[in-house]
Amino acid sequence: MFKFKYLILFLVIFLSLHLHSAEQRPEIGLTLSGGGARGIAHIGVLKVMEEAGIKVDYISGTSMGSIIGGLYAIGYTPAEMEKIILEQDWDAILLDKISLRSISMEEKDDVEKYIGSFPIESGKINLPVGLVAGQQIYSFINKLCISVHHIEDFSDFPIPFLCIATDIEKGKEVVLKGGFLPDAIRASISIPSLFAPIEIDGQLLVDGGLVRNFPVSHALDMGADFVIGVDVGVPLYSKKDLNSLARILNQAITFQSVEINKSESDLCDILIKPAVNDYSIMDFNKAEELIAIGEEAGRKMLPELIKLKEEQSHFPSSPEIIPLTKIEKVYIKNIHIQGLRNVSKNLVIGKLNISKKSWLDTSELQQAIDRIYGSQYFEKVSYKLEPAQNGVDLFVRVVEKSSSNLNFGLHYDNDLDASILINTTFRNKLIMGSKLAIDAKLGNNKAFKISYFIHTGWKPGFGFGITGDRKEYKIPIYNQDQQKTANYSYSTNSTILDVQTIFSNSITLGGGTQFKYTKLKPEIIQNNWAVSNLDYQQMIFHGYCQVNTYDRMNYPRKGVKILADFKQTVELEHSLVEEGYLDDVRDPIDSSIFKISVVDRLIGNLYYEETIKCGSLTHSDSLQDDSFFYLGGMNEPEINFMPFYGYKFMSLSTSNFVLMSSNFYYEISDGIFVSLKGNWVRLGSSFDDVINKKQNYFGWAVTAGWITPIGPLEISYAGGDDKNDNYYYVNIGFYY
């Protein structure tokens, strides 16, 4: 009997222990809300959660919460995310700024010229669907998610994940828990009017914050028993506080889901609300502060998190999360191009410049994608890697731009006065890979240009084109004391045939022929000058080599620019021959120009640009006025016009010169600069004169500049040798 009692007691204890061990550990869900830049605070909270040892089983997120949540779900640690976020140039990412190095050589001159662009469809001018296409933010996400390109079910991630987007057509919530992760995150963060929508499975998707900014209920639906919610949303602003574009955008996104968010918050077991009310959805450059605020909010809830960890410890530990696989190189087996309609496949392959059956660094892959985007033929370019036998298949996915666009620009400076540029660009008209551009420059110095260029897609990037243009300038004439003595009206009509070979986005060789008709008409002259209209016709043969590795057009931070240009001008007809002042047309004129500029960082935010230029004309006894090199001012409207600080526009002229300039500029804060420029030139009628006669000029300028959406705003104070009075110079807008 005694033994039987012990047997019963043993069975009771055994069954009790067995049932307890069989009881499952409560599963923990993590929900991260949207909030634009304020969502960076999520990283700080995650740092505290990891410190407390909390293991997360499910993640749901919206908008910025989908970025942080998605990266955490695939294996990024909070420390890794913090480093990534702090290293980014958020202005470039959010405004789709692409390095000038990624822009095709034939497009570089146009990339920073326009302040507005509108698609033309069915003969109508439309507004763009977003302020930016979102190419750079997509590339940022895509590169970070490269290790899971092949996983289409988000529940197969180390931590199961989903995110929320909005079907803008039907106004309904869309739960994204499968597909291609970069697409899903890009849809969830598509702030209406800022980023263009993205299409997934026939649905046009925008930011999920419109319908459910804090998807706690979805974490419960995934299977969570306990939910930790981090909400970086802010209450609706009052009329008084709606005083910025960022706040109005935030209000427009969130006001419809305020009541839903309240009910979602009630579902949280632990609710963490970082104090981010004083930050806007665009404060990405305050990432360090936001992470610290998130960490502070997490520490306030640390006792509850530690208690949760202790309760978890009573149950068998869950399997350790497999660390994120870092992919630095891939072996490309095959290349597939998807989404082409009008653009030639050869153009894409040529820009991609990747060989099949070869190893490729992932950073080189991103550069290749940037080159395709830099061709300016596409609204979006992305890539996807899919496993193949002994390697991966590369799928390049493109969305073509509208084939027609209306663009415009504005500019003012002391030299050329105010002007408006109106451009219409038609791509893939008549021939795939072609670009037809029509420019009209309105102002005191008018210009009209029509060009047609064809990308053949041959390697190296061979292309050819035809251009017709008309230019009109008001040309000042100065005496030796730098006083204006006359004014001429100068006009040209040209037809140009060009061919060029583009070895990369930085190097091109080209050449061609130009037929040019020039007319020079005096408007204001001195009484003792002979009044005569000049007109003449010329055939010009030219060749050139260009190198441009600048990272941006204005105030570059690094790069080299080289131009070597050679041409021969043959005079066909001249009005002075017809009038008997000349016996015959003049001899051919040979011209050569060489320029090299180097930009680099000196220290901190201090940069320098060193430039050397030289030019030479032969047969100087037969030169026409427009064959000379002109120096002065800060503008370069023609290849033979050289900026020279401290002297008025075109106030120096010569047939041979050597010029050196130094420009030191300091970036006070983002996009605001002060610079000190100095230049020296030696002139002569021949290069022997340049060396021996020592006809020297010196000038300087101090400039305050600000890079704005309409281009640089600059004011300069310049001066030079004793004969030259100091003067102010103002520049507003992009040069063109």
- Residue 116 counted as domain residue: no
- Residue 4 counted as domain residue: no
Domain coverage including residue 650: 404-733
- Residue 122 counted as domain residue: no
DSSP 153: B
The answer for residues whose C-beta is within 8 angstroms of residue 709's C-beta and 6 or more apart is 115
Q: What are the structure tokens assigned to 658, written together?
A: 């050597």
CATH code where residue 588 lies:
2.40.160.50
Point out which residues pair with 230 in neighbouring strands.
32, 272
- Residue tagged 């409207």 (tokens): 637
Q: Is the domain of 154 the same as that of 272?
A: yes
Q: Which among 638, 719, 722, 724 is positioned nearest to 679, based on CA atoms?
A: 719
CATH code where residue 388 lies:
3.10.20.310
Q: Is the domain of 472 the same as that of 412?
A: yes
| pLDDT for residue 11 is more than 50 | no
- C-alpha triplet 335, 339, 345: angle, nearest 5°: 55
Q: Which among 274, 258, 197 is positioned nearest to 37, based on CA atoms?
A: 274
Say if residues 324 and 350 touch (Cβ distance below 8 Å): no
Encode pLDDT of 220-246 as tens digits: 999 999 999 999 987 666 666 666 666
| Averaged pLDDT for residues 554-572 | 92
Residue 15's pLDDT is what? 41
Q: Which among 217, 189, 187, 218 is positioned nearest to 203, based on CA atoms?
A: 187
User: How many of the other CB atoms lie within 10 Å of CB of 668?
Assistant: 12
- Of 348, 379, 400, the position where a domain reaches its end is 400
User: How many of the other CB atoms lie within 10 Å of CB of 241?
Assistant: 11
- Of 371, 400, 429, the position where a domain reaches its end is 400
* 133 phi/psi in degrees, rounded to 5: -75, -25
In terms of residues, how long is the chain? 736
- What does the alpha-carbon distance between residue 730 and residue 417 come to, in Å, rounded to a whole number? 10
- Residue 455, exposed/middle/buried by CB under 10 A (0-12, 13-18, 19+)? buried
Q: Is the domain of 303 the same as that of 375?
A: no
Q: Is the domain of 243 the same as that of 190?
A: yes
Q: Is the domain of 396 the same as that of 411?
A: no
- Chain centroid to Cα 219, Å, comes to 36
- What does the alpha-carbon distance between residue 734 and residue 736 come to, in Å, rounded to a whole number? 6
Question: Mean pLDDT: which of 274-278, 627-631, 650-654, 673-677 is highest?
Answer: 673-677
- Residue 11 counted as domain residue: no
* 317 phi/psi in degrees, rounded to 5: -70, 145
Residue 346's pLDDT is what? 82
Q: How far is CA 21 from CA 24, 311, 317, in A?
A: 8, 14, 11
Q: Is the domain of 220 the same as that of 364?
A: no
Q: Is the domain of 435 the same as that of 501?
A: yes
- Residue 191, exposed/middle/buried by CB under 10 A (0-12, 13-18, 19+)? buried
| Averaged pLDDT for residues 714-719 | 94
Residue 3's pLDDT is what? 47
As a whole number, the mean pLDDT across the chain is 85
Encode pLDDT of 586-609 as tens digits: 778 899 999 999 999 999 999 999
Say if residues 262 and 271 touch (Cβ distance below 8 Å): no
Percent of the chain at pLDDT exceeding 90? 46
Q: Is the domain of 377 the same as that of 276?
A: no
- What does the alpha-carbon distance between residue 224 and residue 657 come to, in Å, rounded to a whole number? 77
CATH code where residue 164 lies:
3.40.1090.10
Alpha helices in 285-361 (DSSP H): 287-300, 302-312, 345-352
| pLDDT for residue 152 is more than 80 | yes
Q: Can the peptide bond before residue 323 be classed as cis, meaning omega within 30 degrees of 0?
A: no
- What does the alpha-carbon distance between residue 233 and residue 276 come to, in Å, rounded to a whole number? 8
- Residue 415 counted as domain residue: yes
Residue 638's pLDDT is what? 82
- Residue 18 counted as domain residue: no
| pLDDT for residue 94 is more than 90 | no
- What does the alpha-carbon distance between residue 735 and residue 421 come to, in Å, rounded to a whole number? 10
Q: What are the structure tokens assigned to 651, written together?
A: 């106030």
Torsion angle (degrees, nearest 10) of CA 208, 214, 220, 223: 60
Q: Is the domain of 163 the same as that of 179?
A: yes
The answer for residues whose C-beta is within 8 angstroms of residue 677's C-beta and 6 or more apart is 645, 661, 662, 663, 664, 700, 701, 702, 703
- What does the alpha-carbon distance between residue 721 and residue 117 come to, in Å, rounded to a whole number? 44
| pLDDT for residue 567 is more than 50 | yes
Residue 726's pLDDT is what? 86
Say if residues 492 and 473 touch (Cβ distance below 8 Å): no
Residue 680's pLDDT is what? 95
- Residue 117 counted as domain residue: no
For the packed helices 78-87 and 41-52, what is the interaxial angle rounded to 10 degrees?
160
Say if residues 428 and 405 touch (Cβ distance below 8 Å): no
- What does the alpha-carbon distance between residue 301 and residue 288 come to, in Å, rounded to a whole number? 21
- Residue 68, exposed/middle/buried by CB under 10 A (0-12, 13-18, 19+)? buried
Encode pLDDT of 386-415 as tens digits: 998 889 999 999 998 877 889 999 999 988
Which segments within 503-605 are labelled E, that is strand? 507-524, 534-548, 559-574, 589-603
Task: Categorise residue 686: left if φ over 0, alpha if ψ from -120 to 50, beta otherwise.
Answer: beta
Point out which residues pair with 648 in neighbouring strands.
none
Say if residues 70 and 42 touch (Cβ distance below 8 Å): no
The answer for residues whose C-beta is within 8 angstroms of residue 349's C-beta and 6 or more apart is 335, 337, 457
10 band by pLDDT with thresholds 50, 70 and 90:
very low
Q: Is the domain of 618 the same as that of 525?
A: yes
- Residue 199 counted as domain residue: yes
- Of 400, 427, 455, the position where a domain reaches its end is 400
Say if residues 520 and 535 touch (Cβ distance below 8 Å): yes
Q: What are the structure tokens assigned to 232, written together?
A: 């970086």
Q: What are the structure tokens assigned to 689, written together?
A: 């004169």
- What does the alpha-carbon distance between residue 696 and residue 561 come to, in Å, rounded to a whole number? 25
580 band by pLDDT with thresholds 50, 70 and 90:
low
Name the helix (H) or strand (E) containing 94: helix 90-94
Name the helix (H) or strand (E) containing 54: none
- What does the alpha-carbon distance between residue 92 and residue 213 come to, in Å, rounded to a whole number? 26
519 band by pLDDT with thresholds 50, 70 and 90:
confident
84 band by pLDDT with thresholds 50, 70 and 90:
very high
Residue 534's pLDDT is what? 77
| Averaged pLDDT for residues 544-550 | 94
Q: Residue 94 is which amino acid?
A: L
pTM: 0.82
Q: Is the domain of 215 the same as that of 227?
A: yes
Residue 287's pLDDT is what? 94
- What does the alpha-carbon distance between residue 182 and residue 162 come to, in Å, rounded to a whole number? 12
- Residue tagged 């950073």 (tokens): 363
User: How many of the other CB atoms lie within 10 Å of CB of 364?
Assistant: 14
Q: What are the structure tokens assigned to 383, written together?
A: 């890539």
Q: Is the domain of 345 the same as that of 268?
A: no
> Which of 34-48, 137-151, 481-495 has the least mean pLDDT?
481-495
- The tally of domains found in the chain comes to 3
| pLDDT for residue 52 is more than 80 | yes
In the chain, the N- to C-terminal Cα span, in Å, equals 106
543 band by pLDDT with thresholds 50, 70 and 90:
very high
> Which of 20-34, 139-153, 315-329 has the least mean pLDDT?
315-329
